[in-house]
């Protein structure tokens, strides 16, 4: 079986090859998959894709034309996929629904702690021989009300971490986690969260009903000085609304590992390129904003889990064992 791996980096190759079966030929392309680059899939049976690859209708049609039978997503989210188009084209799509929920949950905590205690600013000050504490004042997380929106594997892990820190955790999800309820975590409405939470962490998928769930209207309902963390998908937040909230002081802390227009920014070294995204550039001017480049998943354990599940999906597809696959849409 021949597999074309798009948006691949050295670490993708290292971990995927480590778990690759004999008889499988993998070709690695650092190029993002798109309608224009789909021609590179010619001669392959499988394309292996990541979060910022374009799997819209035009790309799907181009892949079908080149004989692609399987799209193996090496990620959990599939908001970049036109599933009806894939089904119409007869292309099977699988994903990695879980790898290491601790990796992303712990990264969300890292963003929160760094923002609250101004670690990023203190680090730069000390390097400049400046040890003044003015402007670095934080707050105790203990007994703060933390809202977790989306309690799948990652969100529930984050909720338990915050409970361990002595926070009062509340949650919102159409499918509550029985384990969290047993621990005493209350499920509430989004309206309650906007009005009551000191800290809000987003862990839900990007869908039509969650797109820009954080917007001008919802920001205006939040407690002044709220800490907002997003390690899920950038489209959950209307960035311009977040900037307005930061300017007014309504949002006191903003930690992002994702950004709604990240496809043209993240995962590449652009240090020698002039930043063209004015909205993103504005975000970078705030001292109470901390952004990382979609690295929440980037741990040894998570990369191992992603590689194992991706190769297991492909192996099951080759054996026509669809029941053993993590199929999208089922």
pLDDT digits (tens, 9 = 90+) for 7-18: 999 999 999 999
Q: How far apart are CA 70 and CA 137, in angstroms?
A: 52
Of 45, 74, 262, 326, the active-site residue reads: 262
Measured between its terminal Cα atoms, the distance across the chain in Å is 25
Kindly indicate the confidence band of residue 126, based on its pLDDT and cuts at 50, 70 and 90.
very high
Q: Does the annotation mark 233 as catalytic? A: yes
Nearest to 162 by CA among 227, 108, 96: 108
Higher confidence at residue 22 or residue 158? 158
Q: Tell me the backbone φ, ψ of residue 61, rounded to 5 degrees.
A: -65, -40
| Dist. CA 69–CA 242, nearest whole Å | 41
Of the ranges 121-125, 260-264, 283-287, which one carries the lowest mean pLDDT score?
Answer: 260-264
Q: Could you tell me the domains of the chain?
A: 2-99+300-324 (3.40.50.720), 101-291 (3.40.50.720)
For residue 330, pLDDT over 70 is answered with: no
Residue 158 structure tokens: 């984050």
Q: Give the pLDDT of residue 77.
A: 87
pLDDT at res. 293: 97
Answer whether residue 230 shows pLDDT above 80: yes
Q: What are phi and psi of 49, to 5 degrees?
A: -125, 165
Mean pLDDT of 122-131: 97
- Find, among 71, 72, 73, the residue nearest to 91 by Cα: 71
Distances (CA, A) of 38 to 16, 44, 51, 59, 250: 21, 11, 16, 6, 44
Give the integer Cα–Cα distance in Å for 278 and 176: 39
> Distance of alpha carbon 73 from its chain centroid, rounded?
14
- pLDDT, residue 102, reads 96
pLDDT-above-70 percentage for the chain: 100
Q: Please identify which of the residues 74, 203, 294, 326 carries the catalytic annotation.
A: 294
| Integer Cα distance of 189 and 220 in angstroms | 16
Q: Whole-angstrom Cα distance, residue 310 to residue 275?
A: 34
Flag whether pLDDT at 47 surpasses 80: yes
At 306 the three-state DSSP class reads helix
In this structure, what token pair is assigned to residue 147?
Answer: 């809202």
Residue 324 confidence (pLDDT):
93
Is 326 among the residues known to form the active site?
no
pLDDT of residue 229 exceeding 70, the answer is yes
pLDDT-above-90 percentage for the chain: 95
Whole-number average pLDDT of the chain: 96
pLDDT at 72: 97
Catalytic residue among 168, 233, 260, 326: 233
pLDDT digits (tens, 9 = 90+) for 181-218: 999 999 999 999 999 999 999 999 999 999 999 999 99
Q: What is the pLDDT of residue 22?
A: 82
pLDDT at 21: 84
102 a catalytic residue: no
pTM of the full structure:
0.92
């Amino acid at each position: 079986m021949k597999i074309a791996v798009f948006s691949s980096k050295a670490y993708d190759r290292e971990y995927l090859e480590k778990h690759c079966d004999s008889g499988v030929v993998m070709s690695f392309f650092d190029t993002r998959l798109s309608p224009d680059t789909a021609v590179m899939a010619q001669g392959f049976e499988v394309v292996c894709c990541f979060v910022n690859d374009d799997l819209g209708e035009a790309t799907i049609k181009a892949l079908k034309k080149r004989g692609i039978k399987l799209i193996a997503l090496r990620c959990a989210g599939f908001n970049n996929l036109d599933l009806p188009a894939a089904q119409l084209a007869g292309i099977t799509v699988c994903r990695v629904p879980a790898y290491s929920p601790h990796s992303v949950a712990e990264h969300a905590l890292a963003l929160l702690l760094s923002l609250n205690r101004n670690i990023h600013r203190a680090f730069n000050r000390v390097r400049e021989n400046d040890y003044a504490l003015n402007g670095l004042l934080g707050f105790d997380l203990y007994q703060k009300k933390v809202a977790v929106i989306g309690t799948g594997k990652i969100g529930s892990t984050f909720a338990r971490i915050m409970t361990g820190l002595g926070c009062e955790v509340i949650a919102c999800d159409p499918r509550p986690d029985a384990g969290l309820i047993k621990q005493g975590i209350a499920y509430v409405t989004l309206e309650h969260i906007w009005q009551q939470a000191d800290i809000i962490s987003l862990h839900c998928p990007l869908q039509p009903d969650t797109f820009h769930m954080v917007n001008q209207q919802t920001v205006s309902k939040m407690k002044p000085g709220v800490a907002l963390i997003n390690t899920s998908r950038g489209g959950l937040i209307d960035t311009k609304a977040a900037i307005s909230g930061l300017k007014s002081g309504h949002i006191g802390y903003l930690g992002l590992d994702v950004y709604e227009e990240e496809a043209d920014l993240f995962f590449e070294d652009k240090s020698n390129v002039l930043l063209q995204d004015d909205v993103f550039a504005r975000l970078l001017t705030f001292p109470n904003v901390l952004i990382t480049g979609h690295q929440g998943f980037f741990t040894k354990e998570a990369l191992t889990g992603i590689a194992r599940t991706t190769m297991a999906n492909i192996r099951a597809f080759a054996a026509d064992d669809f029941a053993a696959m993590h199929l999208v849409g089922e």
